[in-house]
Amino acid sequence: MKRIFVTGGAGYIGSHVVKALGERGCEVLTYDNLSTGHAEAVLHGDLVRGDLADGTLLRETLRGFRPDAVIHFAAHIEVAESVADPLKYYRNNTLNALNLWEALRELKLSNVIFSSTAAVYGIPEHNPVTEDTPLAPINPYGASKMMSERVLADLDASAPDFNYVALRYFNVAGADPQGRIGQKYRNATHLITRALKTAKGEYDRLQVFGSDYPTPDGTCIRDYIHVDDLAAAHLAALDHLIAGRGSAVFNCGYGHGYSVNEVVAVAKRVTGIDFRVEEAPRRAGDPPALVADSRRLRAATGWQPRHDDLEFIVRTAWDWEKRLG
């Protein structure tokens, strides 16, 4: 039994990790302001409704729970919004993360898993991308996450008892295969979810942003990882930390990508609906391709994905969308 404190555990990825922790038998406490999360998505443990900007409540909660490890998800995640409103992203993703790191150091708590992103790489020269690829984010979302990673690295260097794992997510998609939880954003921006909502008739068309990228079919290529495989990577990272193997940074992806057009084709096949697709100009902050080299994660933790199948990913997301009505 391990006591795990999860910020943002009512959100899409956080709730799947809370589910995995609960199924393992961990004692879980979720801390979430519910600005984008949903209380009913927290399937295990207790929920404290709180904001990381509230230092008093944060410290009181941590002091009372005394976790063995902390998993930090709470963040804004929309690339285009970060370009339009950068201060919102630096305030929440960087400053609020700093509030959490300060509270952990004051209370002498260690073992942190940080929800980072492939956006820290910007437009890499080579794909697949390794963890040693230079960090050069091209949007405030990626920059805000990069800054938090840097603070964690500096804490690790200055405090021998402080250990962390930063997991750099590539494109997370899909839903719980049992249909209990899934993506439930008010404004769907992720490609697979947007495509499925278009198939449902919630949108009259799906826009494809850019068809002139230097890729085989001209559309962006991304490495799509099923959310349950990503949750399993968090448990593997937790085992890594609890075993005292030290701090690390790991990419989370499958090592191959699909273009936007390929994803759209699979979405149409899974749903059986030939929904309308419209070409649109490139979107600010989008690199042409991002594919993970995740060999370091596999070698260090033994992580092995179980759902490396785009059709399975889309089908679980479609089953969830239908459940939402």
Domain with residue 311: its CATH number is 3.90.25.10
- Mean pLDDT confidence for 226-238: 98
Amino acid 1: pLDDT:
60
Residue 292 counted as domain residue: yes
Residue 198 counted as domain residue: yes
Tokens representing 165 are: 């794992």
Q: Among residues 89, 90, 141, 258, which one is catalytic? A: 141
User: In this structure, what are the phi and psi dihedrals at residue 125, rounded to the nearest 5 degrees?
Assistant: -70, -30
Mean pLDDT taken over the chain: 96
Q: How many domains are there within the chain? A: 2
**90 catalytic per annotation:** no
SS3 (DSSP) at 129 = strand
Which residues are within 8 A (CB) of 19 and not within 5 positions of it... i.e. 6 or more apart? Answer: 43, 44, 176, 180, 181, 231
> pLDDT band for position 257 (50/70/90)?
very high
Amino acid 325: pLDDT:
75
CB 196 within 8 A of CB 317: yes
Q: Are residues 236 and 95 in the same domain?
A: yes
Q: Residue 170: which of 69, 305, 281, 312 has the closest Cα?
A: 305
Expressed as residue numbers, the domain containing 271 is 191-222+255-324
Say which residue the tokens 């990790």 belong to: 17
The yes-or-no verdict on residue 80 having pLDDT over 90 is no
The yes-or-no verdict on residue 35 having pLDDT over 80 is yes
Q: Are residues 125 and 88 in the same domain?
A: yes
Query: Cα separation of 38 and 11, whole Å?
Result: 7
Q: Are residues 229 and 301 in the same domain?
A: no
112-148: pLDDT as tens digits: 999 999 999 999 999 999 999 999 999 999 999 999 9
DSSP structure string for 10-34: TSHHHHHHHHHHHHHT-EEEEEE--
Query: Cα separation of 166 and 148, whole Å?
Result: 10
Amino acid 187: pLDDT:
81
pTM value is 0.96
The yes-or-no verdict on residue 284 having pLDDT over 80 is no
Tokens representing 272 are: 């059986």
Tokens representing 68 are: 């063995």
Amino acid 85: pLDDT:
97
The yes-or-no verdict on residue 271 having pLDDT over 90 is yes
Query: Cα separation of 183 and 74, whole Å?
Result: 15
Q: Are residues 293 and 315 in the same domain?
A: yes
Amino acid 45: pLDDT:
98
Q: Compute the residue count for the chain.
A: 325
Query: Cα separation of 30 and 44, whole Å?
Result: 9
- Mean pLDDT confidence for 237-254: 97
Supply the CATH number for residue 22's domain. Answer: 3.40.50.720
Final residue of a domain: which of 234, 252, 270? Answer: 252
Alpha helices in the chain (DSSP H): 12-24, 55-65, 79-84, 86-89, 96-106, 140-158, 191-200, 227-242, 260-271, 295-301, 310-324
Amino acid 119: pLDDT:
95
